[in-house]
Amino acid sequence: QSVLTQPPSAPGTPGQSVTISCSGSSSNIGSHDVYWFQQLPGTAPKLLIYKNHQRPSGVPDRFSGSKSGTSASLAISALRSEDEADYSCAAWDVSLSVWVFGGGTKVTVL
Amino acid sequence: QVQLLQSGAEVRKPGASVKVSCKTSGYTFTDYAIQWVRQAPGQRLEWMGWITTATGDTRYSRDFQGRLTIMTDTSASTAYMELSSLRSEDTAMYYCARGVEEIVLMVDSYYYYYYMDVWGKGTTVTISS
């Protein structure tokens, strides 16, 4: 399966901002919306961003998403300790007819 | 509120099958698809397939073709995932997720997929001899 590429880690201090990148190809990010999921330690994924930049009800506006070409980004501003989690990007891949996921980026609040 | 309640942990021997249930509540079952995604220890999420609950139509990842069956009991608002010919590499957490339809318009046609908006808590499946 084709996969999306994310950095494995993104450290930050409280109050800072961190940005996580997600790189794909023309058959996934280049032609479809990007979704971001947050996985707190030992829990199921939770939809954080949908359709590139939309936030589900209840997600703070400290979380924002963007997309350009075959890459996407998730930004977390005013970092808080409860933001420590794994963040994964995902997109539908039209060539493979599967969802492809990034490997996850672990955000650590120092 | 919307909830997806999954069945408990399972242990199977190589070559056996496992069936995991996903009981939904808080919404009209047939208005959304159900998808299955798994995550092996320390690995990325891996999409397995979906079922369009209104019609029973299924789509499976080629990686599971022939081994995976997704089905529903509409009267019980419950979806099931059955994986056969299990091997050690199938040891993972298995999640069901509600699927929201996205339609992609092309010049002279269209296709659709579902994105995952609400997830179950997961079911651990361990394959061990």
Mutate to test the interface with B, among A32, A51, A94, A99 (most CBs of B within 10 A): A99
Tens digits of residue pLDDT in B89-128? 999 999 999 999 999 898 889 989 999 999 999 999 999 9
pLDDT value at position A2?
A: 62
CA gap B51, B58 in Å, rounded: 4
Tens digits of residue pLDDT in A25-78? 999 999 999 999 999 999 999 999 999 999 999 999 999 999 999 999 999 999
- Whether A96 contacts A3, CB under 8 Å: no
The DSSP code for B109 is -
3-class SS of residue B97: strand
CA gap A79, A108 in Å, rounded: 10
CA gap A22, A90 in Å, rounded: 9
pLDDT value at position A9?
A: 96
Measured between beta carbons, the chain B residues lying within 8 angstroms of A35 are 115-116
Tens digits of residue pLDDT in B17-43? 999 999 999 999 999 999 999 999 999
Measured between beta carbons, the chain B residues lying within 8 angstroms of A85 are none
Measured between beta carbons, the chain B residues lying within 8 angstroms of A45 are 37, 45, 95, 97, 116, 119
